[in-house]
């Protein structure tokens, strides 16, 4: 009898944020988020999160401490219970900002190269909002170059039906009030599903670093607290 071993999966976590409507109301009724609010380049059909020109420090707003504390509780569950890492880390949010996309602007695939875990919290998701996309750059089951690219025209692809085993891309329909967690090294972006979309998609985006606890500084791998760094300008 045949056996199938699906190895080396990429794990993406999703769960709901409590008091979501409190945080959404804050956005629309105060200017709390304004200095962390990044709007895409109106001259371009795409927007890259590498172009952010605001200070990515939304997590330092005291009013939002409960939100970011809840996000970290999800990160701990993801790291300790799902990925089953040892409990040897403290958790530091290093960057966070508002990602605001209008009309059918897309965010191209990118990674967050300076962190361990990234999150996307969907603050406002109108109908027909862009999908969140993930790209498998390894393409382990691609038997021929480009054979399972979902960007290939239909008459050129070799794949009869896309599934979890032969797809290079994975799409998540965003749901308002949900936070996604994933390794920061995973390529991700957005994909428009309606060329006539004229609304506004809002998300709080951020990065988390895992810092070794004091009693585990002897580990050869892992990031140590910056208080032990020697800094130069």
- Which CATH number, 3.40.50.12140, 3.40.309.10, 2.40.50.140, 2.60.120.10, labels domain 13-130+174-213? 2.60.120.10
- How far is the CA of 212 from the CAs of 89, 92, 216, 217, 226, in angstroms? 5, 11, 6, 6, 11
Is the pLDDT assigned to residue 49 strictly greater than 70? Answer: no
Question: In terms of pLDDT, which residue wins out, 138 or 157?
Answer: 138
Q: Which of 27-31, 124-128, 141-145, 148-152 has the lowest mean pLDDT?
A: 148-152
Q: What percent of the chain has pLDDT over 90?
A: 52
The confidence band for 43, taking pLDDT boundaries of 50, 70 and 90, is: very low
Residue closest to 124 by CA, chosen among 40, 20, 44, 33 = 20
Q: In angstroms, how far is the first alpha carbon of the chain from the final one?
A: 63
| pLDDT tens-digit map of 9-22 | 899 999 999 999 99
Contact 158, 147 (CB under 8 A): yes
Bigger pLDDT: 50 vs 6? 6
Predicted confidence (pLDDT) per residue in 105-135, tens digit? 788 889 999 999 999 999 999 888 888 999 8
Please determine, for residue 182, whether its predicted confidence score (pLDDT) is greater than 80: yes
Instruction: Quickly state the pLDDT bin for 39 (edges 50, 70, 90).
Output: low
| pLDDT score, position 46 | 41
All structural domains of the chain with their residue ranges = 13-130+174-213
CB under 8 Å to 147, separation ≥6 — which residues?
157, 158, 159
Structure tokens at 212: 């070794």
- Judged on CB neighbours under 10 Å (0-12, 13-18, 19+), 156 is exposed
């Amino acid at each position: 009898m045949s056996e199938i071993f699906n190895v080396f999966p990429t794990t993406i976590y999703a769960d709901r944020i409590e008091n979501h409507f409190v945080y959404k109301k804050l956005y629309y009724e105060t200017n709390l988020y304004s200095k962390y609010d990044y709007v895409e380049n109106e001259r371009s059909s795409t927007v890259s999160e590498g172009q952010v020109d605001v200070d990515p420090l939304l997590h330092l707003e005291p009013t939002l401490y409960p939100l970011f504390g809840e996000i970290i509780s999800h990160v701990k569950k993801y790291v300790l219970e799902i990925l089953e890492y040892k409990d040897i880390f403290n958790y530091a949010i290093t960057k966070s900002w508002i990602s605001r996309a209008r009309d059918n602007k897309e965010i191209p695939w990118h990674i967050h190269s300076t962190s361990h875990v990234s999150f996307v919290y969907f603050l406002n998701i109108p109908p027909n909002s862009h999908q969140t996309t993930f790209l498998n750059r390894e393409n382990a089951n691609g038997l021929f170059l480009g054979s399972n690219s979902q960007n290939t025209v239909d008459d050129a692809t070799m794949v009869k039906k896309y599934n979890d085993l032969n797809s290079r891309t994975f799409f998540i329909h965003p749901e308002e009030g949900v936070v996604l967690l994933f390794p920061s090294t995973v390529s991700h972006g957005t994909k428009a599903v309606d060329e006539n979309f004229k609304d506004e998609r809002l998300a709080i985006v951020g990065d988390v670093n895992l810092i070794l606890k004091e009693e585990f500084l002897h580990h050869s791998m892992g990031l140590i607290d910056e208080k032990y760094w020697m800094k130069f300008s």
